[in-house]
Amino acid sequence: MTDEDPLAFDRREVTAIGIAAAVLPTLLPANEAAAAAPVGGGVVLQVNGVRHDLGSLDTRATLLDVLRERIGLFGAKKGCDHGQCGACTVHIDGRRVVSCLTLARQAEGRAVTTIEGLASAGGHLHPMQQAFLDHDALQCGYCTPGQIMSAIACIKEGHAHTVEDIREYMSGNLCRCGAYVGIVAAIEQVMAQESAT
C-alpha cells in the first residue's frame, strides 16, 4: 500500500474513532491492504467544478469512497454499497449514477456533481432542495442527497410528466422513513415551476 493515510482528509469531530474504524475497512480492507495493492498514479477528478489531484489511488477505491474519504464531501451516503438503495446517487456528465459501483478511475475526465454542488455561490438553494423543504420530503434525511440528485435528473430526462412516471423513475432511491408522498410532491412542484417558465 502507499505511504498515504487513506483517511488523509481531516475528518469532522463527529467521526469518532469507533466510526472511523468501522468505515476504514470499506476503503482498504485491513488484511488485504497489507499486501501490495495496485495503485493508479496521478488520478485527477473534477467535482462540482473543482479539480482534485488525488495522487496515487488504490484501484479498488470507488467514486463514493473518494468523495467521502479523500475529498471530504459527505453528502453522498453509503447505504447498501451494492447499488440497491440510491443513497450514493451523484451525476456524472449530467447523468445520475450510483457512486458506490463506480470505480473512481472511471470518473476521471468527467464532470462529477454532488449535492454540495447544487446551491449557488450566494447560498441560494437549488429549486429541488427548496421543494424538499417545502414538502417535508424527508424525515431522517439519510437518503435525501441521493433523492434530490435523482429527482433533478428525473425531470431533466423527461420522466416526471405524471405521478406514475415519477414513482417509476424514482424507484431506485429507497426511503426507509417512507417520505415518498412528500418526495413526489416536491418533484411535481419543481416540474410545474419549470413548465411555467
Residues forming contacts to other proteins in the complex (CB under 8 A) are 29, 32, 35-38, 40, 58-60, 62, 81-83, 86, 89, 95-98, 101-103, 105-106, 150, 153-154, 157-159, 167-169, 171-173
Of 195, 194, 84, 89, which is closest to residue 148 (Cα–Cα)?
Answer: 89
In terms of CB distance, is 93 or 136 closer to other proteins? 93
Going from the C-alpha of 90 to that of each of 33, 147, 150, 184, the distances in angstroms are 27, 10, 8, 19
In terms of CB distance, is 89 or 129 closer to other proteins? 89
Shortest Cβ 138–other proteins spacing (Å)? 19
Shortest Cβ 62–other proteins spacing (Å)? 7
How many alpha carbons lie under 13 Å from residue 94 in its C-beta half-sphere? 3
Of 47, 40, 39, which is closest to residue 64 (Cα–Cα)?
Answer: 47
In terms of CB distance, is 59 or 133 closer to other proteins? 59
Q: Starting at the earlier edge strand, list the strands of the sheet with 95-98.
A: 50-58, 39-47, 111-113, 89-92, 95-98
In terms of CB distance, is 35 or 121 closer to other proteins? 35
Shortest Cβ 89–other proteins spacing (Å)? 6
Shortest Cβ 79–other proteins spacing (Å)? 12
Of 88, 14, 20, 19, which is closest to residue 6 (Cα–Cα)?
Answer: 20
